[in-house]
Amino acid sequence: MTEPSDSTSDKITRRVAVAVIGAGTAGQNAFRQASKTTKNIVIINDGFWTTVCATVGCMPSKLLIAAANRAHEAKYSDQFGIHADVKIDGKQVMARVQAERNHFANSVKKQVEGWPADKKISGRAHINKDGLIEVNDELIKADKIIVATGSSPFIPDGWTNKLGNALLTSDNVFELSDLPISMAVIGAGSVGLELAQAFTRLGVSVTLFNRANRVGGLQDEDINKKAIDCLGNDLTMHLNSEIKDVGTQIDKDKNLAAFVKYKDKNGKEGQWQGEYVLVATGRRNNIEPLGIENLGVELDDKNRPKDLNINTGQIGDLEVYIVGDANAHIPLLHVASDEGFSAGSSVYPNNTDANIRPPSIPLSIVFCEPQIANVGMSLPEVQKSGLEYVIGSVSFDNQGRSRVMGVNCGLLHIYGCKKTDKILGASMVGPDAEYIAHILAVAITNDICIKALLDTPFYHPTILEGLRTALRDVQDKMAIPYQSYDTQQDGF
């Protein structure tokens, strides 16, 4: 880092060994770990001292989804001979989301409040040309800097002004005091898909738009097609559509309404009109305004830091570490947690490599119904690897326990390596995908071969028996099929 000039040095108000900028999941973990090796540390944060997950992300969205799934099960149990009239109290739904969200956020906040007051600074940090941190009235010289400034929802240019109060993002949608009447959701990634289905199941008239014919980030075309088929049962989707314009206008009842003008997959122009537009077009890292270039850090055309050590977050040989969503590597909570831990453990050489957590294998889950999960290598990555592989498959449409539960829609693909009998990756849409994905993640992480997985018990009747069927299909397509005494499909 650049050494400050003599004139600037006289103005320095604080000298620290480590400065952590950002107090989300990655920043908090980095601060805790670095504090074990030095007390000369400070953490600087602009905004709430909780985490995106607890405050505006994972937890409030799952609370909304929980309410939505209860409503859906109550309304659509006719096949079981159960008939009910369901009344949804939108204000009560949102009140519970906010109350429980606050419970989770306050738990995080309470931990932060236990940190020494002189180690915390509330304010927006900027790194000046001398590599010093400017925040409030302070000028801080840090030997090592850990950047964990997180990310923010991406909003296309001009949309904020055009939509005004009709614009929602994942940062403010959970502040609604009542369920809206109608909503357009732009973007069918994990956030857009989860919220679109949840609001639909809670009685909101929702239309989901996406520029690609793809949902949940799926890269296996067969799984993607199946997901669209399953989700289309209760979700109105305009996929492969181009948004031409958004804005507000006076409707026929002389009320201000939002609109979305689009061109559909057939090239036909259409217009949606309703109460809110929820923009879920991804998130962007909060790094560009920080002045990170003054530390010698170079960014690529997508604002991702170059020379990033994915094990520690360190940038080249600089005393700078960029972790969590700020590095735009893999913007997931468990990844941010591990990266913060590793960076905080790496700032001093007396920390051993045992404290550095290696990157975990890719694992992502979308909590729609049915769930979407991806683990390990994607199908395009497998195809590009040059490895000889097979695809084991199982449909959940007629899988025993899935049919019993009335959740029988889904498809699982497992990509197996013919040379090693190991799992390279998997993709699925279906019931209990979150659990199946974790089992596969454990297998990949620990190099467990497919034969060893098939030697473990699968209890009957469970949805997880579908995993066994897919593993058997992989094994049957290998050079030497696995011989099992139980040849029944899912044990029925």
Q: What would the pLDDT profile of 345-385 be if each residue is shown by its tens digit? A: 998 766 555 577 778 899 999 999 999 999 999 999 999 99
Span 198-204, average pLDDT: 98
pLDDT at res. 125: 97
**169 close to 279: Cβ distance less than 8 angstroms:** yes
In a shared domain, residues 129 and 273: no
pLDDT at res. 86: 93
* Model confidence at 1: pLDDT above 80: no
Q: List the structure tokens of 259.
A: 């609109």
* Model confidence at 133: pLDDT above 80: yes
Span 110-117, average pLDDT: 93
Residue 201 lies in a domain: yes
- Write the DSSP assignment of 109-152 as a string of letters: HHHHHTS-GGGEEES--EE-TTSPEEETTEEEEEEEEEE---EE
* Exposure letters 35-61 (e unless 16+ CB within 10 A, then b): bebeeebbbbbbebbbbbbbbbbbbbb
Residue 81 lies in a domain: no
- CB-based burial label for 488 (10 Å; 0-12, 13-18, 19+): exposed
Q: List the structure tokens of 149.
A: 């400034």
Per-residue pLDDT band at 5 (split at 50, 70, 90): low
pLDDT at res. 203: 97
pLDDT at res. 357: 74
Lowest-confidence pick of 74-78, 405-409, 483-487:
483-487
pLDDT at res. 337: 92
* Model confidence at 464: pLDDT above 60: yes
Lowest-confidence pick of 165-169, 207-211, 350-354, 440-444:
350-354
- Write the DSSP assignment of 155-207 as a string of letters: --TTHHHHHGGGEE-TTTGGG-SS--SEEEEE--SHHHHHHHHHHHHTT-EEE
In a shared domain, residues 182 and 264: yes
Residue 218 lies in a domain: yes
Number of domains in the chain: 3
In a shared domain, residues 145 and 163: no
Q: CA-CA distance, 200 to 207, in Å (whole number)?
A: 9
Q: List the structure tokens of 28.
A: 């908090």
Per-residue pLDDT band at 251 (split at 50, 70, 90): confident
Q: CA-CA distance, 292 to 26, in Å (whole number)?
A: 18
Residue 177 lies in a domain: yes
* pLDDT tens per residue, range 42-73: 999 998 899 999 999 999 999 999 999 999 99
In a shared domain, residues 329 and 262: no
Lowest-confidence pick of 8-22, 183-197, 258-272, 391-405:
8-22
Residue 62 lies in a domain: no
pLDDT at res. 253: 82
pLDDT at res. 486: 47
Lowest-confidence pick of 20-24, 50-54, 85-89:
50-54
pLDDT at res. 491: 53
pLDDT at res. 142: 97
Residue 68 lies in a domain: no
Could you tell me the CATH number of the domain that includes residue 198? 3.50.50.60
Could you tell me the CATH number of the domain that includes residue 411? 3.30.390.30
pLDDT at res. 444: 97
Dihedral sign computed on CA atoms, order 361, 366, 367, 368 = negative
Percent of the chain with pLDDT over 90: 86
pLDDT at res. 485: 41
In a shared domain, residues 293 and 346: yes
In a shared domain, residues 275 and 416: no
Q: From 306, 321, 355, give the residue that closes a domain.
A: 355
pLDDT at res. 254: 82
Span 277-296, average pLDDT: 95
Task: Say which amino acid occupies 180.
Answer: P
pTM: 0.93
In a shared domain, residues 170 and 231: yes
Per-residue pLDDT band at 330 (split at 50, 70, 90): confident
In a shared domain, residues 147 and 175: no
* Model confidence at 487: pLDDT above 60: no
Span 332-346, average pLDDT: 92
Q: From 282, 304, 328, give the residue that closes a domain.
A: 282
Domain housing 465:
363-491
* Model confidence at 403: pLDDT above 70: yes
pLDDT at res. 454: 96
Residue 198 lies in a domain: yes
Q: CA-CA distance, 269 to 272, in Å (whole number)?
A: 10
Q: From 249, 282, 315, give the residue that closes a domain.
A: 282
User: Which residues lie closer than 8 Å to 345 by C-beta, 6 or more apart?
Assistant: 33, 34, 351, 355, 356
In a shared domain, residues 399 and 384: yes
Lowest-confidence pick of 347-361, 396-410, 454-468:
347-361
pLDDT at res. 475: 94
Span 205-225, average pLDDT: 97
Per-residue pLDDT band at 478 (split at 50, 70, 90): confident
In a shared domain, residues 189 and 244: yes
Residue 447 lies in a domain: yes
Average pLDDT of every residue of the chain: 93
**DSSP three-state, residue 80:** helix
In a shared domain, residues 398 and 350: no
pLDDT at res. 439: 98
In a shared domain, residues 276 and 289: no
